[in-house]
Chains A and B, each alone.
Chain A
Amino acid sequence: METSFTPFASLAGGLLIGLAAVLLMATRGRVFGATGILAGFISPSSSSDWAWRAALLAGMVTGPLVYLGVAGEFPAIEVPVSTPMMVIGGLIVGMGVTYGSGCTSGHGVCGLARISPRSIVATLTFMATTGLTVYLVRHVMGG
């Protein structure tokens, strides 16, 4: 499935993601890692620790609604993956980010921005295995 190259929208989106990361650090002193925020939300250590995560997640989830209000449509979600593969992919992602202590936002954005050696290693690792997986699925197994 072809998708069109969108450098300006993607850059603008990236700038907003970076801005959100900076604002969360400036106010709550935390990195903006989706994995860590979700993990603390589903098993909170205290009610005060839960409330800010719930507020942050509520903001994240309502992001597409603001996009809808401005652009007149929801952001495109095209899924070239079967439902069973989506379940398998989700399970693997959940296990991987728990063992790896982070994902694209935590290691890839916040960790690289802090020049954390752990995050640099993590990001290089998952970018490599993602690329390899896509190659195998599309050009070796599926074709």
Chain B
Amino acid sequence: MRLIVTYLIGLVFGVGISLSGMANPAKVLNFFDVFGTWDPSLAFVMGGAVVVAFLGYRWVLKQPAPMFDPHFQVPTSRTIDARLIGGSAVFGIGWGIAGFCPGGALPALGTGNLDVLIFTAALVAGIFAARLLMRITANLTDNGLTRA
């Protein structure tokens, strides 16, 4: 029953993405192309989503616990470091090249579109590549520390 509710929540998100235009790279890229074929639609997506989430969270996070879990598990880190800024900057470069972000592409998989499939496969490969790189750099740092 809980999984069905979770499925339906995913469905609401997927319909929202479909309706919004976030699954359409041409539309996403045009939002950023202010000096070309500008299409400001996506400001309405972000605006609508943030306002609803802001108001909803205010109420939900006052509850003692979520319905299906003993605790809220919201991100608690407050560190603004090079990893956050660098990673976000890199994400933007990729978004600007492809026109898909993860939240737009995952629902779009349901259309069977080949470009979405290619993007998503590359996205997953990129996630694994970053994890590998993180592990390698962490090992190098550890070794450096033990030698010093």
Contacts and interface: CB of A to CB of B under 8 A. Distances in A.
Interface in A59-106: 59-67, 74-81, 83, 85-105
Instruction: Determine the interface band of chain A, counting residues with CB < 8 A from chain B.
Output: 35 or more
Given A75-B19, A113-B57, A86 B122 contact: yes
A39 B127 contact: yes
A79 B6 CA distance: 31
B136 interface: no
Contacts, number: 496
A20 B9 contact: yes
Contacts of A28: 6, 66, 68-69
A58 B23 CA distance: 16
Contact of B19 (A13, A62, A131, A139): A13
A79 B115 contact: yes
A92 B84 contact: no
Interface of A: 1-7, 9-35, 38-39, 42, 51-52, 55-67, 74-81, 83, 85-105, 107-118, 121-123, 125-135, 137-139
User: Secondary structure of the B side of the interface?
Assistant: helix
Given A26-B56, A100-B84, A122-B85, 5 more contacts: A9-B20, A25-B74, A51-B3, A87-B118, A125-B88
Nearest to A77: B113
B119 A103 contact: no
A11 B91 contact: no
